[in-house]
Structure 1
C-alpha cells in the first residue's frame, strides 16, 4: 500500500465507484530521472511544479507531451522502430514523440542537452546565457528542440536515455496522465538548473537521505511554497516517484541502475480503504530491494 498524495485527497474523497462517470482519458506525458553519482550514493535532480501539476508537487524533470514533439530533428542512437519495442507502445510515431518529448523536457526545464556531434558525446554542448534564452523559447513554443540542435550542428543522442516504467493516473482524478518515465545520467560538462520564471525550485537530492526519514518535512520546508511547507516527502511526490526514490536509495552508483535490464511495464494505482484511510494499491510491483549500507 502507498500513501495518497495530498493534492489527490479531495478528488479521492468525493469518488464513488457506483456513481462515477467513466474515467477521463489520460494525456501522454514524460518524466526524466536525471542522475549523477554523489558522495553517499546516487543523486537525482528534483523540481517543484506546484500541487496543480498532474505530475506531482515535487517531481523528476517532466511535462506533458506537445504537438511540436513530432517535429523532425537530427537524430542519433536507437531508431524510432527500436524505441517502439523498448517502450512497448502501439506505433512508431508515438515512440518517437515520447523520446523527443523527454529530450525536450530535459533541455527546457533543466538546461541539459542530450546531444552529440557526429557521434562524439564529449562534444561541447553546454548552454550558458544563450542556452537559457533558447530554453525559454522552447518552453514558450517559439522554437523547437530541433531548431536548437541544428543551430549548434548537434544530433539528439537517444542512446543517453533509458526507458523505465509507465504510470497511469488513478481513475478518480479529473486530470489524468499516462506518464512514461526515463532515466539519464548527467552528460559530462553539463549542470542542470531550474528554468527561471517557470520552475521555482530545483536541485540535486540524495534519495538515501530522503528515504532515511520519510516523515521529515525538511524538503517541503526548504522549497517554502504554501503547498509544500510542513508536508512529508510522500505527500509531495506521486507514488511512481516515491517507489523510484526508494529504489535509488539502495544504489551505490548510477551504472548499476542504468545498466539494469528491465521489461516495459505499466502501472495504475487503485484507490482502496485501509483502516478507514484512503490508500493506493499498485498491483504487480516487484518486491523492494534489500537496503544497502553505503560506506563513508
Structure 2
C-alpha cells in the first residue's frame, strides 16, 4: 500500500466521511511557484520558506511561495505577455477566467512572500531589483488587499510575464482536511538582479537548497513537508539546470491523496508515483 500512517485521532474523522456524517470543505483555488536558480558551486537550487507555527494550514512546513486566489486576480485590465489565459487553461484543465486568476495569483503571491517579481517594463524585460521602501510598501499593500495586483502593475507600468512560468503539477488537498486547496504548481527562473526576501509575514526561515538535499531532509524527518512539496523536489532533483527544468515536457494530471482505514488504522494513501519518494515507498 502506498500510504503514510496518520494520527489515531483522524480515524473517527475518516469514518465520518465514509459514512456520510461529514461533508468535505470546498477546496480553494491556489497557486504556488518553485523559484529556481543555478548556483556556481551547488548547482540547481530551489527557494523554500518555513511557515510560521501559528499558521492554520501546514504550520512549520517547508513550502514554496504561493497562496490562494484573490477575487481581483481575475481583473482583465492588466498588461500581459506570454501564453494567454486560454493556453494556461489548456495546460491546467481550467477555464480562461480561472487560468488568468491562477497565473496572477502565482506572480502576486511570489512577490508577496519573496519579493521576486515576474514582471517587467516591457514584454521582453523583467524588473532587475525589487529592494527598497517603495517596493516593500507595495508588497504590504498587496498583503492587506488595499491594492489589487492589476493596480500595482498599472501604477508601476509593468507587464506580467506569463512566459517566465511553466506549468508543473496539480494537487488537491485530501477530503478529510478542514482547510483544503486546489493548487496548481508552477516553476520559474529567478530573474537576474533580483534577490529573494529573507523572511515574510508567513515564514520564519528561508533557504536556497538543492532539491535532492531538501527532499532528503524531509525523508529523514529534519524538515516537515507536505507530500506535494516532497514529490516536486524529488522530481526536480533529476535535473541539472534551470533551463533543463523549464524545457521539460509535462503532462498535468490531478493528484489527490485519499484517507483510508487499513487494518483499523488511519492512512493517507498517495498516488503510486508519489509514494516512491517516501521511505519504504
TM range (shorter): 0.7 to 0.9
- 1:18 aligns to what? 19
Distance 1:216 1:140, change over 3 A: same
Q: Equivalences for 1:10-159 in 2 at 5 Å?
A: 10-11=9-10, 14-16=13-15, 17-18=18-19, 20-38=21-39, 39-50=41-52, 52-54=55-57, 57-71=61-75, 72-89=77-94, 91-122=95-126, 124-159=128-163
2:206 equivalent in structure 1: 202
Q: Deviations over 1:128-172 (max 9, x none)?
A: 221111101110001122222223221001101111111111111
> Do residues 247 (structure 1) and 238 (structure 2) align?
no
- Once the two structures are overlaid, the 10-residue window that deviates more, 108-117 or 93-102, is 108-117
Secondary structure at 2:153's aligned position in 1? helix
> What number of residue pairs does the alignment pair up?
270
The normalised TM-score by structure 2 is 0.85
Contact 1:164 1:264 in 2 (8 A): yes
Specify whether residues 13 and 41 from structure 1 end up closer, same or farther in structure 2 by C-alpha distance, changes over 3 A only.
Answer: farther
The equivalent residue for 1:266 is 254
CA distance in 2, matches of 1:9, 1:183: 36
**Residues 41, 208 of structure 1: 8 Å contact kept:** no
Could you report, residue by residue, the CA deviation over 1:54-107 in whole angstroms, capped at 9, with x for unpaired residues?
366221101111112122321111111211112111x21111000111111011
Q: What's the Cα RMSD here? A: 2.6
Long gaps (5+) in structure 1: 218-231, 290-296
Per the alignment, in what secondary structure is the counterpart of residue 171 of structure 1? coil
- TM-score, length-normalised on structure 1? 0.81
2:82–2:162 CA contact under 8 A, matched in 1: yes
Secondary structure (helix, strand or coil) at the match of 1:106 reads: helix
